[in-house]
Structure 1
């Protein structure tokens, strides 16, 4: 078929048009093409004329061509449609096609829209990615044209409100989803954005269609036309309920830690020297160091010269092995005062099991330690004089015997009893008596060596323990000093008082089986000193023990004979010269 040449007014348009132009018959056969058709697709006119127009169209678009051709043949008007053409070199060229029927031919105009199609494809790809990102991060988009006044919600915004996809609320309905405490805020910032173009970024609470409470982050900004007039407000809504719940839990945890009576300190395990990154208020109260003064430092700044080295080693070992540690350590406050710290340290691990931090819980047990020390002191010391009591004396006595036996030394026990103390106590009162006892205790301590022991045995009785003597006679110098010191005048409220003491001495080389027997022996010797005139001393001897034993045995035998009625009474009457009984 010979090519159809355009005539008249179409001639110039046919040749100079930047769009593709061709003529086809009602069977779809190409009759003519313009130069732009040839240059864009790379075909020569001779190769195409007389062939079906579908040869330059991608096969999947053939049904589109056939449907459009049929409608034109029926005299119907068709709207522009898109097809994908195939160039000689295999390129795909998107064309927007318009067609109209003449008397014998169909005129077809096609515009290259490949760039627009590429933009649309990229836009669809971006929209798909944004939709995936929005669904993943629970972020949805919205906008409202001010001329229309109706918000347009994305699918994700609909889901956030538990509404069906595609739901388009009125502005009042959209605002009504917010809780009463949040509603006034969103109304105010949205109005400012619409009227003044002020952007907003708010975290507010909504109640969904199903009654669920959700926290959302709402961001909005104004869109202006070329004249600067606000024509639209657009923004995003993100579900931040999970983050808010986490923040509330963290806030609750922080308030709990801050209000704890125990000190809490957190150090960074992944930085050199384990710097402190957090301390609570109790730490500041216990140590006296402010938060600013503690942050960035290693916890050892609380230690001092008296801190137990073994405890320090235990701490370092536990931290190195990344395990829990419990110690009681002597720390120091900012003012230099020491305190006992009952310290628990625990490692904090991340999801991979790596230790990222250590948490230390402090408990100031200084008062408890002091109370325990006081209880221990009271259990082992006399309440009035503060001297060791019988319990502690027994311990010291056993230690002294062990020392004497191990090093071939001697141990001496002095039993001291104040002479005529009872009349002073009874006549002058217990206040004076207590004063005398305190002064005697003080004088005895001042005359002894640091490792000697003076104990109150009871009432006006004192025991002096002298360990580590080279010779038994070494005790005499001490006894003479004690007698002289005790007998020196006592002044009470300008009144002079005098008192003396009797001392019994017992010594041993540590081989005695029962150390407490030394106290009994010294007691016997003390009574002998009292019988010898008082204000003197006497040694314990076996003869003294024998005599005492005999007296005890005799007293026991007499008492037993009385109880068993073993005595008989024999008597002879005395007769007066007158013959009467004058006596027995």
Structure 2
């Protein structure tokens, strides 16, 4: 490349880098410009491309959502930026520049291309606004003018975007500096205010008040927080009798006794006592006191007071909760247990032990896998990994009771990490009967309620599971003159005949064969080994045992071939049935 071209390319890449647009997210303006280009040109694909040193990257992409960029050496737009005019390629297959291009010979199979270079105000060409089609075509003069205008608008939009990015960065830097100045001022003001209010604030936040009783003046002083605890205005100075009078009668006696003991022995006190405030609130306080001496002389008492009502309530609530949990644990009909991280049972409530046929003491210390089939042990290890990693787990667990019964528990277990050793708290319900009922209901939905044969749903499920190349046979069976039985002897007799016919067919089926009642007096035998010899063998047995059937019947058979549908195979069996019936009725 000539030196001047190298300089031009270096300038172009520098301008592209300065725009700070490469690998940016989708933006409505550029998407709209690309969509407008597609609409004007009537093409399924429109792109705003920017050419880096090694790649062509799409800022806007209409029609090639799965392709964010391509290599530059195969980019049509690399040719477009070599001029200021639109590059139009009516048919890329006929253009020697592009005929072997992988974007032409392969996906997205470009045939038509028209690209308007994106030119900045200083003449630098960064990429193109291009439209692409899969068929040969040419732009009209109006379309060319519109594409030129949209290309110029794209270049202006890129420059406007770059200026907006610079402005935003400048504003952000100014905002950061202003925020830092404001934070510094606030910190200084906060520190000053904090130093002035430290003692009062800590006492208030901690709920701790102070008091002092001067024996020389007989004056009792309360701090602001002590006044708040007693629901008294700040600055209130009570007498000793008033202060002691806030306590419950028994607490008053206790308090006077400890004061006298401290007076005589110098031993302080640390008590929790009930108190009723000036507004009538009943609270508990942590009361502390000690003597003040000047030499050997007792000159007063000093102490602290803290409202501990919430803590006492929490302790009482915890004790109540523990009692209730123990009651719930013992008497709950649900299954509650705890086990360690290895699955060793630490506790089991009576309901869970009874459900497995054990006494509670028998199961403590046992591994959970003791109650599982050996092949389930890997599943339990996977469960332990989930519950210890996620902190919880829910699902179904199959256990074996002491008497060999298999029970199914639906569980929701959570991991408790608060203690020294983590453990799992489990809660479960026995859904064995529910699962059994669901299975029965599911099975009943695939069977005819009168005869016990499979129904059409069973037939569809069975054939859906067969591979496309599977060979199977079917025998269509239709009862002759069944309507006459219903009309002559009634529907009850007709139902008996249907049941007997189903039994007749079941006895002549192989182990893997299925008897299906299609409805009314129509049955279908689906033969697992559906090759022609086996099909002929079953047909021969039915033909031989006709006299044992409760009613005369006609039948036809077909073997599935060439991956045909179930309906077509059955239809061919029906066709043979009708021919067989017609032959028998015409026989003299």
Q: Normalising TM by the smaller chain, what interval? A: 0.3 to 0.5
The structure having more radius of gyration, on CA atoms, is: 1
Which structure shows the bigger proportion of residues in helix conformation? 2
Superposition TM-score, scaled by structure 1 size: 0.46
